[in-house]
Amino acid sequence: MNYAGILKKLTDSDRRGAGLRLDAMNWLNTLDGYDWSGIYVLRDDMLHLDMYVGEPTDHREIPVGRGVCGTAVAENSNQVVADVRELSNYLACSVSTRSEIVVLIRDGDTILGQIDIDSHTPNRFAPEDEQFLIELATLFANRWLE
């Protein structure tokens, strides 16, 4: 499956909310180098782990400003990290993770949450990945609630 195929499957689906997000994480898991795929939901100043596929993580809650996920919210910008070992504030979900991308899910100016993808491959994420995940984030925002 490729980016366009995943977007088509999810767009054609009538699912919403958590069910749509879980379906998406399962599809993302089929992509090469998408070794952990998850959604964090923002409530107040805390990110809460929602749907994910991959190894279990201790990071079920992440404060805004901490790690790559918290930095994305604090800076109101997507984050693409070529090598997580170069970050001083990195929160490791897995010792195998080498690169990470975080794309915010927005409803207008309001951040609803984020898509977080980890890869065991350094420098895995290209502009095409970010664009695909932005389109996916827009779909999530439009169908956020059940």
Roughly how many angstroms between the first and final C-alpha of the chain, as a whole number?
A: 26
Helix (H) or strand (E) holding 52: strand 46-53
Q: Domain range holding 88?
A: 3-142
- CATH number for the domain spanning 24: value is 3.30.450.40
Q: Say if CB 62 and CB 40 are below 8 A apart.
A: yes
Whether the predicted pLDDT of 93 surpasses 90: no
Average predicted confidence (pLDDT) for the chain: 94
Q: How many CA atoms lie within 13 A of 114 on its CB side?
A: 29
At 1, the pLDDT band (50, 70, 90 cuts) reads confident
In the chain, how many domains are there?
Answer: 1
